[in-house]
Amino acid sequence: MYTAAYIGSLINAQRLAYLLQPAGYDLVVFDPDATDVVSGTEGQLTRVATLQELTEKVASKRIICLDITPPETVDAVLEDIKFSLAVSDVIIHIAQAPAADTVRRARDLEALQLHLLDCSLTTPPAATLAVGGNRFAFNDSLPLLQAIAPHTTIQYAGRPGAGHAATQPLHNTPAG
């Protein structure tokens, strides 16, 4: 059994736990918007009340899925957690973000020998999960990414920011 971490809404965490369970993953979850959280376990999902508790419950060579969009919240979470992580731990930002923000965050984490992967899902004609960041971190995280997106092509997109940049033209296209 493997353990992964998730920072984001409990509802999305429950969906993710459902996908990860058949692949042999337990999930430790921190919801930054939740109040009065009591730590506990429900099936394959363990809720924690703090980021510190999240890092303690997931063994080294951590892979943490970060599913938060507001830039100030992403920056605050990364600032709070980065000194609790170990060399080569991986954070996968699975929410959409501007590529320039992702590059800045990746550089900040690389200074601590941590890795930030960024990914986004492209749509038709074929769904592809484009992932940017350190190639070795991508390789280490691939089994988890395959469990998250089992019927999707997962493609290494290149440098930090490349995963988020892959869909920005889709998201920034004017309506109409």
Q: What is the pTM of this model?
A: 0.88
CA distance 176 to 174: 7
The predicted pLDDT at position 157 comes to: 92
Q: What pLDDT score was predicted for residue 167?
A: 67
pLDDT in tens, 29-68: 999 988 767 677 777 789 999 999 999 999 878 999 999 9
Determine the pLDDT at residue 126.
66
What domains appear along the chain, each with residue ranges and CATH number?
2-171 (3.40.50.720)
Q: What is the mean pLDDT of each run of 10 residues along the chain (176 residues)?
A: 89 89 91 78 84 90 92 95 94 91 96 94 73 96 91 91 74 40
Q: What is residue 65's predicted lDDT score, i.e. its pLDDT?
A: 94
pLDDT value of residue 164: 86
